[in-house]
Amino acid sequence: MIKDSLFSRNFSLNIKGKLIELNSPKIMGILNATSDSFYEGSRVTTEDKILLKAEKMLKAGATFLDIGGFSTRPNAENVSETKELKRVIPFIKKLSTTFPEAYISIDTFRPNVATEAVNAGASIINDVSGGQDEAMFETVAKLKVPYILMHMRGKPTNMMTDTNYKNIITEVVEYFVEKTNRLKKLGHLDIIIDPGFGFSKNLEQNYELLNGLRHLHMVGFPVLIGVSRKSMIYKLLKTTPEMALNGTNILNFASLERGAKILRVHDVKEAQETIKLFSALQH
């Protein structure tokens, strides 16, 4: 395994004036306030369900809770901004008051939804579009909250038509360098980068990118990995999202070996066990 100053660097996030150290990997639990997310087990459409699931995730070891109201799977429903707000804002308010120790992330590509969510109690913005809306970077800088910058080409409805790369590792690194430089010019440094597995990448490209994950450390920001129950696992294994937990754990372990600092998952208990086993091997 490559060991250098970039790979072994420790990171921290400033969240509401508190420094969250990432020298040990952290877990982000997925809460989808949608009825059409690709994994049915992640859908939470009532207050009782989301509170129960959030409590279970926090007890199992999640540091962050990521809530989204717009499914980004291919051919998903096109949700209006008004509907997205109605789906997520009441839940964020309830989660932030019920679990004040939790750090809530809003999964959105819309600057206005991001603003309303932070005002309601969210403290991280998770943008799958990588700032395709020109107002997003300025919104993030104004709100002064950590920003998850994901790699994707196009939009969820057409992203799989743009998978031509000369060198996927080089092009993804260049993408992050350009975007993070723009954020730095705005004075924003609390950035997390997400390679965007499954977004504008075919099956083989997903594995090439994961295998070369260590190269992303040259960008200089912590890396978040989201492979949980995705098609790169269940299509390769010829199974379903419901049967892809074992594959998820294996790829999460591989991601940790390559320097991932945050695992975004549906199954927090299993992710925590993966981190514990990985940490034991490091020591």
Q: Which CATH number belongs to the domain containing residue 225 in this structure?
A: 3.20.20.20
Among the listed residues 17, 19, 41, the one whose alpha carbon sits nearest the alpha carbon of residue 31 = 41
- Banded model confidence at residue 76, pLDDT cuts 50, 70, 90: low
Most confident of the ranges 79-93, 112-126, 141-155:
112-126
Tell me, yes or no, whether 218 lies in a domain: yes
Tell me, yes or no, whether 245 lies in a domain: yes
The overall average pLDDT reported for the chain is 91
Is the predicted pLDDT of residue 5 greater than 50, yes or no? no
Tell me, yes or no, whether 222 lies in a domain: yes
- What is the reported pLDDT for 6? 47
**For the chain, what percent of residues have pLDDT higher than 70?**
90
Tell me, yes or no, whether 202 lies in a domain: yes
Tell me, yes or no, whether 98 lies in a domain: yes
For residue 192, give every residue at least 6 positions away whose Cβ sits within 8 Å of its Cβ, in sequence order, or none.
13, 146, 147, 148, 149, 221, 222, 223, 224, 261, 262
Sheet containing 64-68: order of strands = 191-194, 147-150, 124-127, 103-107, 64-68, 26-32, 262-265, 224-225
Tell me, yes or no, whether 261 lies in a domain: yes
Q: Tell me how far apart the alpha carbons of residues 110 and 114 are, in angstroms, rounded to a whole number.
A: 6
pTM: 0.93
Q: Tell me how far apart the alpha carbons of residues 151 and 111 are, in angstroms, rounded to a whole number.
A: 17
- State the pairing for strand pair 12-15/18-21: antiparallel
Identify the domain containing residue 157 by its residue range.
12-282
Rounded to an integer, the average pLDDT of 214-233 is 97
Q: Which of 89-98, 155-164, 167-176, 267-276 has the lowest mean pLDDT?
A: 155-164
- What is the reported pLDDT for 34? 74
Q: Which of 1-10, 67-76, 160-169, 199-208 has the lowest mean pLDDT?
A: 1-10
- What is the reported pLDDT for 30? 95
Tell me, yes or no, whether 221 lies in a domain: yes
Q: Tell me how far apart the alpha carbons of residues 127 and 175 are, in angstroms, rounded to a whole number.
A: 15
Bridge partners for 126 per DSSP: 107, 148
Is the predicted pLDDT of residue 140 greater than 60, yes or no? yes
Q: Tell me how far apart the alpha carbons of residues 143 and 253 are, in angstroms, rounded to a whole number.
A: 33
- Banded model confidence at residue 68, pLDDT cuts 50, 70, 90: very high
Tell me, yes or no, whether 5 lies in a domain: no
Is the predicted pLDDT of residue 38 greater than 90, yes or no? no
- Banded model confidence at residue 73, pLDDT cuts 50, 70, 90: low
180 close to 193: Cβ distance less than 8 angstroms: yes
Catalytic residues, by residue number, are 230, 264
Domain tally for the chain?
1
Is the predicted pLDDT of residue 72 greater than 90, yes or no? no
Is the predicted pLDDT of residue 3 greater than 60, yes or no? no
